[in-house]
């Protein structure tokens, strides 16, 4: 399975996916990594692994892409012959034409047990709500924000003394196991 990874940050989920591939646990190849943030860590991580990278900056909007930039994103992914688009800390809401170009082939990982705590800083939302557990969710991306069909979830308990940083770190550790596992299952189903 040919993966296109989109991210805005340091790329820890890309790192987890690459480790699973290198360990022979995931039959996939990352063929392109794309960020909306020049100099993002995900680009360095991909470049160090020999993966082609692209930066597509959106100058007009903070949380979404203009139609022009999203069309350019689709072109880059199609040129790389991507089978599955993997959002890995990509902080932009995607819409058509990406979802139309890759129907049921765009997935995301979100740091909560959806449908609870959609949107940004879900770990902080969970702490403020005082829940006993949160976690992470892999889901198909649809036109809403964190509303697509859920593929898998992993629970992470809140513990006394948790800070936003400590909880987020434990959720990310769960993400690093869950995301490669879900991609592995999708690759098996699409053989």
pLDDT tens-place string over residues 155-164:
999 999 999 9
- CATH code at position 75: 3.40.50.170
Q: β-strand 133-140 against 150-157: which pairing, if any?
A: antiparallel
Per-residue pLDDT tens for 77-111?
A: 999 999 999 999 999 999 989 999 999 999 999 99
Instruction: Please list the active-site residues.
Output: 110
**Domain assignment of residue 85, given as a range:** 2-189
Domain count along the chain: 1
Q: What is the reported pLDDT for 191? A: 73
102 CB burial (10 A radius; 0-12, 13-18, 19+): buried
Per-residue pLDDT tens for 125-135?
A: 999 999 999 99
Element (H, E) at 30: strand 29-35
């Amino acid at each position: 399975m040919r993966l296109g990874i989109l991210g805005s940050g340091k790329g820890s989920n890309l790192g987890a996916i690459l480790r699973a591939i290198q360990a022979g646990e995931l039959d996939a190849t990352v063929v392109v990594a794309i960020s909306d943030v020049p100099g993002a860590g995900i680009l360095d991580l991909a470049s160090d692994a020999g993966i082609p990278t692209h930066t597509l900056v959106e100058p007009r909007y903070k949380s979404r892409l203009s139609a022009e930039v999203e069309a350019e994103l689709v072109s880059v992914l199609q040129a790389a012959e991507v089978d599955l688009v993997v959002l890995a800390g990509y902080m932009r809401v995607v819409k058509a034409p990406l979802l139309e170009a890759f129907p049921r082939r765009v997935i995301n990982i979100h740091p909560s047990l959806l449908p609870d705590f959609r949107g940004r800083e879900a770990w902080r939302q969970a702490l403020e709500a005082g829940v006993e557990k949160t976690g992470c969710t892999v889901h198909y991306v649809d036109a809403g924000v964190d509303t697509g069909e859920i593929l898998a979830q992993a629970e992470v308990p809140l513990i006394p003394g948790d800070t936003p940083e400590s909880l987020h770190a434990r959720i990310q550790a769960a993400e690093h196991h869950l995301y490669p596992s879900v991609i592995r299952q999708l690759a098996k189903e699409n053989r």
